[in-house]
Amino acid sequence: MLKYFLSCFFVASALGAQEFRQIQQIKASGSTKVTLLLYQSADDAIVEFRVTNQDDILYGVEISTDLENMAADVSLPFHGLIPAKSNGEAPLFRITRIDATKSFYFRNLRWQLRAGVAQGQSNKPVVHDGVYLYPWPKGRTFTVDNGFNGYGAHKNEWAYAVDFKMPEGTPVMAAREGTVTAVESKFSKGGNDPSLGDKANYVYILHPDGSTGRYLHFKKKGVLVKIGAKVRAGQKIGLSGNVGWSTDPHLHFDIVIPDTQHGMKTIPFKFKDPKGKVFEPKQGMQLSH
């Protein structure tokens, strides 16, 4: 969990126009890109809590504070969800002065991100419960070219990932149902160069248990879904490519959950073959369905 503690004190002042100014900007610890923003009204009587999230992962958040002569427009502690890659500042709640003739304050502000939350449930950690279809059309066979704890980037927080050798332009299918949370399709260059690591075209799909499936190295303009789209298992989401840090045409696939140290980390997962057998992918396997 990520935590931040703050003490603040406000006194009553003359009423003014209801304009808001930013009084605090509190970044979450670790490598996550979540920021809590506090705005105060011109008359000091209202404090609004907002948040930004530049991560590709949804988070749960819990916020509590001690109030004197102030009331919140939600129940405290506040529990909510912060959408992945949210554009702009998302308002969470407000606290407002009650009696203008008396002093008022909030103090001992405490907030924490929950590192892994099930979709739609801000206080329930991810318990990964999914098995996955092969991420390509039926009637095709592809080889696991790089498996868990393999070579190149398949280390540390990226350890549980697989690469499939795959000709450019191969249809890529969703391996599990979910909601598209992030896409990129503008890049065109690929090669064995770590500096291209952040220039791979991709699709991220949030699953019902709160985990996210990541599909990387699509061809330029090869992503066929948009953020917010609901996709079903087996639905076409794009065309494979050789873009980003890529030694040859292939599809990178992994499953991640939020992590307080790295922002996201991969976790082990299993595929289901056409006969219903569930197994962990291994380097060198040829998979058909």
Sorting pLDDT into bands at 50, 70 and 90, what band is 249? very high
Q: Is the pLDDT assigned to residue 9 strictly greater than 50?
A: no
Q: Which pLDDT value is given to residue 123?
A: 73
User: Residue 24: what pLDDT?
Assistant: 93
28 phi and psi angles, rounded to 5 deg:
-70, 150
How far is it, in rounded angstroms, from Cα 276 to Cα 282? 17
Q: Is 50 exceeded by the pLDDT of residue 189?
A: yes
Backbone angles phi, psi at 194, to 5 degrees: -55, -25
- pLDDT, residue 85, reads 75
Average confidence score pLDDT of the chain: 87
pLDDT given for residue 82 in this prediction: 83
Name the phi and psi angles at 158, rounded to 5. Answer: -105, 15
pLDDT digits (tens, 9 = 90+) for 47-90: 999 999 888 777 888 899 999 999 999 999 998 888 777 668 88
pLDDT in tens, 130-168: 899 999 999 999 999 999 998 877 888 889 999 999 999
Residue 152 φ then ψ, to 5°? 65, -125
User: For residue 139, what are the CA distances in angstroms to 171, 241, 287, 289?
Assistant: 12, 20, 10, 6
Please give the structure tokens belonging to residue 197: 């690591």
Per DSSP, the residues of 237-289 read: EEEEB--EE-SSSEEEEEEEEEETTTEEEE----EE-TTS-EE---TT-EEE-
**Vertex 117: Cα angle to 115 and 123 (nearest 5):** 100
pLDDT band at 115 (very low <50, low <70, confident <90, very high): low
In this structure, of 7-16, 150-159, 181-190, the range with the lowest mean pLDDT score is 7-16
Residue 5, pLDDT above cutoff 70: no
Higher-scoring residue by pLDDT: 175, 19: 175
CATH superfamily, with its number, for domain 141-288 = Glucose Permease (Domain IIA) (2.70.70.10)
Phi (first) and psi of residue 72, to 5 degrees: -95, 150
Q: Within 10 Å of residue 280's Cβ, how many Cβ atoms?
A: 13
Residue-wise pLDDT for 209-246, tens only, equals 888 999 999 999 999 999 889 999 999 999 999 999 89
pLDDT range class, residue 13, cuts 50, 70, 90: very low
Phi first, then psi, for residue 219 (nearest 5°) are -70, 160
The pLDDT value given to residue 140: 96
Question: Percentage of residues in the chain with pLDDT exceeding 90?
Answer: 60
d(CA 132, CA 224): 20
Q: Is 204 in a helix, a strand, or coil?
A: strand
Predicted TM-score (pTM) above 0.95: no
Q: List all residues 6 or more positions away from 205 whose beta carbon is below 8 Å from its beta carbon.
A: 174, 176, 178, 179, 180, 181, 212, 213, 215, 231, 237
Q: What is the DSSP string of 51-106?
A: EEE-SSS-EEEEEEEEEESEEESS-SSEEEEE-TT--SPEEEEEEEES-TTS-BEE
- Please give the distance of CA 233 from its chain centroid, rounded to a whole number: 20
Residue 273 has pLDDT above 70, yes or no: yes
Question: How would residue 1 be classed by pLDDT, with cut points 50, 70 and 90?
Answer: very low
Mean pLDDT of 189-216: 90
Q: How confident is the model at residue 17 (pLDDT cuts 50, 70, 90)?
A: very low
CB 254 within 8 A of CB 215: no
Tell me the pLDDT band of 116, cut-offs 50, 70 and 90.
low
The domains of the chain are located at 2-114, 141-288
